[in-house]
Amino acid sequence: MATLLNHIDFQLINYYLNKGKLTFRTNIMKKPTLKLLVGLVLLGTISANAQDKVIHDAEYYILKSQHGDKWEQQDKEIQKKLADLEKKHGSKPNIIHIMWDDTAVGEIGVPQIQAPRGFKTPNMNKFAAEGQYYARMYTEPSCTPTRAAFQTGRHAVRSGMYTVSFPYEYGGMSEKETTIAEVLSDVGYATAFYGKGHLGDIEQSYMTNMGYDEALWAPYNQVPSLYVTRGELGPMFPTSVDPSLYPNDPYDMDPGWRPSGYVWALEGTKNGPTREWGTPPNEDDYYAMEGECQKRTIDFIKKSVAADKPFFISYQPIAASFLGTQPGVAKKSASASILHEFLVGFDQWLPELLGTLKEQGVEENTLVILMADNGPMTHHGPDGMVETLHTGGKGDFTEGAVRVPFLVRWPSVIAPNQVVGDIIHVTDLYTTFATLAGATKSIPTDRIIDGVDQTSLLLNGDTFSRRDNVNIYTGDILAAQVKGRFKRHWVGELPGLSGASFYDLYNDPREVMPKMLPGFTTKTMFDVMRARHELMIRKYPNEKHPRGMPLTGLENPRPAVQKASEFRFKEGDLPFNPKEFLEYELPYDPTMENWGSGNNN
């Protein structure tokens, strides 16, 4: 018991039990028994950590204690198969990961859903049939958090990257985080990033400072596409973009308050200079970004093959302008929605990507993944962003926000026509890619890695997942948790009371019939699950993301961009330090999530 006390903070457990943080029915479990249970689980977790170099969240060890022997045998078979593949192809597998915005489960890969919606993606549907269609891929609820989770293998709350970046963000991903590009670079992979980075506008968050050998990336989301003359004369507030189009406003005392030195994209190479790409507000440049990213993707494949190096490409499409398709360009879909126009256009390019892999002789040694970053922008978003199979959308904690299309193709390795019903999370790709590349020794061991190795699920298919649970955060708030078929909404519960916050996702996949009494068998188990999760956070605290002046260190900044990294006033004229705001983090507000996406209609 003395050993147990050395590892357990009973004051914290008492806080959970007695202060309303968690509530337990004494007729289900007595408090001393619960203290011992939580403590023993935590102790088991710590003992497991001593054996495993990579530190996972507590629930992983609960499953490993029950399935570890089976997993160990699977891992031996997997390593043999990977060694045989490397011998056959003379190289580790190439990995291409493509992730775009705001798409509901069923929007791609299911022609029966597409037909009555006015668009078709025959090539992506064929892609799905040639490999695996995953039905339960979970992400974070919005774009920056999911992209941070993918890069680090960690929930975005752990790195402080849980809010959506806008110009100017004055912050970004910390250089202390270890990205998947850095992990793969350590074992000789050529790495490239193209598209929507959306991880901040400070230098340490530049993609070329995050392990990528070369990159062309947008530091923000698609909102700057509105910061042009058409936006000023259309949906934006008058004078908020370009006051020069209007008569002088004598009451506008601080015109420089508006962001004006934004960028379309940045480009550069690892350890090399970073340059601005494109010249806002030139819309032609904005619309040209997608084609440029696709061109560079093809070129990087060819260059890597010629250099006889395995490659990792993260292509995260810009996807759209919020002003719609480029003026003068014909529509590609009958629906003509922003999302469907992108999906159809991307679908038309996909054969070029797959054809290039085949022409270069690396198709059978290349894993290609297609997925979305979160559910549709159902709150205050553009037309066409609607619920499909699940309730809710971007910014929410319901299934419609965090379950996305996820398609996997790897000829000769992954059998076709598979539907996978297991739970998988975007963070799992980090650990899985590292396993495929033989790079697990480069995964950091001083922090929690939420991603679990899903190589067995990838290679063996349905029912081989090593995850049955998901933590769903909105901002820095643990809003809901999933365990198998069951779900509990934490947000909305009244302290000290039990309510209708439990769901059976098999029988209520849209979360429209919350239950109380029928879910009480799961109540205490969710309480304990949350306690274990929060105790692990106490041991490995979440970080804050760094803050700083935006868009510094560019080789070719335009005058407006240069001004963005400077104050528009003399610091000495102020009775306070104007940089103090960089140290102050506003409380999380869901209205910051892309025009209020979040349940705040």
Indicate the range of 32-46, 236-250, 277-291 predicted with least confidence.
32-46
Question: Residue 219: CB partners within 8 Å, gap ≥ 6?
Answer: 165, 169, 172, 197, 198, 199, 200, 201, 205, 206, 263, 265, 266, 551
Do 124 and 24 share a structural domain?
A: no
Q: Are 391 and 400 in contact (CB under 8 A)?
A: yes
In a domain, 554, yes or no: no
Domain total of the chain: 2
460, 483: one domain: no
- Residue 522: name the closest of 560, 563, 484 by CA: 484
592 band by pLDDT with thresholds 50, 70 and 90: very low
One domain, residues 202 and 331: yes
Query: Which CATH number characterizes residue 447's domain?
Result: 3.40.720.10
Is residue 4 pLDDT above 60, yes or no?
no
Predicted confidence (pLDDT) at residue 473 exceeds the cutoff of 50: yes
Pair (354, 220) in one structural domain = yes
Please tell me the predicted confidence (pLDDT) of residue 46: 44
Q: Which residues does 110 contact at the CB level (< 8 Å), separation at least 6? A: 125
At residue 496 the predicted structure's pLDDT band, cuts being 50, 70 and 90, is confident
181 and 37 within one domain = no
- Tell whether the model's pLDDT for residue 29 goes beyond 70: no
Q: How far is CA 201 from the centre of its chain?
A: 17
* pLDDT over threshold 60, residue 194: yes
Judged against a pLDDT cut of 60, whether residue 285 lies above it is answered with yes
Over 60: is that where the pLDDT of 445 sits? yes
Q: Count CB-CB contacts under 10 A for residue 556.
A: 10
pLDDT value at residue 590: 54
- Say if residue 595's pLDDT is above 70: no
Residue 79 near residue 365, CB atoms below 8 Å = no
Give the closest residue to 140 by CA, choosing from 99, 80, 176, 192: 99
pTM given for the model: 0.90
Res 164 pLDDT > 70 = yes
For 42-69, the pLDDT digits (tens) are 444 444 443 359 999 999 999 999 999 9
Residue 83 domain-assigned (yes or no): no
pLDDT band at 568 (very low <50, low <70, confident <90, very high): confident
For residue 171, give its domain range: 93-242+260-468
Q: pLDDT at residue 540 above 90?
A: yes
pLDDT above 60 (res 118): yes
Domain check: are 344 and 304 in the same one? Answer: yes
pLDDT > 50? residue 27: no
Which of 487, 519, 539 marks a domain boundary? 539
The yes-or-no verdict on residue 591 having pLDDT over 70 is no
In the prediction, which pLDDT does 448 show?
98
Q: Cis omega before residue 168 (within 30°)?
A: yes
Q: Is the pLDDT of residue 37 over 70?
A: no
pLDDT at 20 over 50: no
Identify whether residues 269 and 415 lie together within a single domain: yes
pLDDT at 25 over 50: no
Tell the burial category of 243 from Cβ atoms under 10 Å away from its Cβ (0-12, 13-18, 19+): middle
Q: Can you give the pLDDT at residue 209? A: 97
Tell me the average pLDDT of the chain.
90
- pLDDT, residue 119, reads 96
The mean pLDDT value for 261-284 works out to 96
Of 513, 539, 565, the domain-final residue = 539
Residues 514, 460, single domain; the answer is: no
Bigger pLDDT: 595 vs 312: 312
User: Taking residues 90-101, what's their average pLDDT?
Assistant: 98
pLDDT band at 589 (very low <50, low <70, confident <90, very high): low
List the Cα angle 190/191/195 in 5-degree steps.
150
Please give the Cα distance from 354 to 123 (Å, whole number): 10
Same-domain status, 462 and 489: no
Domain match, 130 and 15 both = no
* Residue 588 confidence (pLDDT): 62
How, if at all, do strands 214-218 and 265-269 pair?
Answer: antiparallel
Query: Average pLDDT for residues 34-39, to the nearest whole number?
Result: 48
Say yes or no to pLDDT of 14 above 60. no
Domain annotation covers residue 577: no
* Structural domain ending residue among the three candidates 539, 560, 588: 539
- Counting residues of the chain whose pLDDT is more than 90, the rounded percentage is 81
Q: What is the mean pLDDT of residues 16-40?
A: 42
Per-residue pLDDT tens for 212-248? 999 999 999 999 999 999 999 999 999 999 999 999 9
Question: What are the start-end ranges of the E strands in 362-467?
Answer: 366-372, 403-409, 418-420, 424-425
Indicate if 341 and 406 belong to the same structural domain: yes
Overall average pLDDT of the 310-337 stretch: 95
**Which of 27-36, 62-71, 317-326, 341-350 is predicted least confidently?**
27-36
User: Is residue 461 assigned to a domain?
Assistant: yes
374 SS3 class: coil
Reply yes or no on whether the pLDDT at 131 is more than 60.
yes
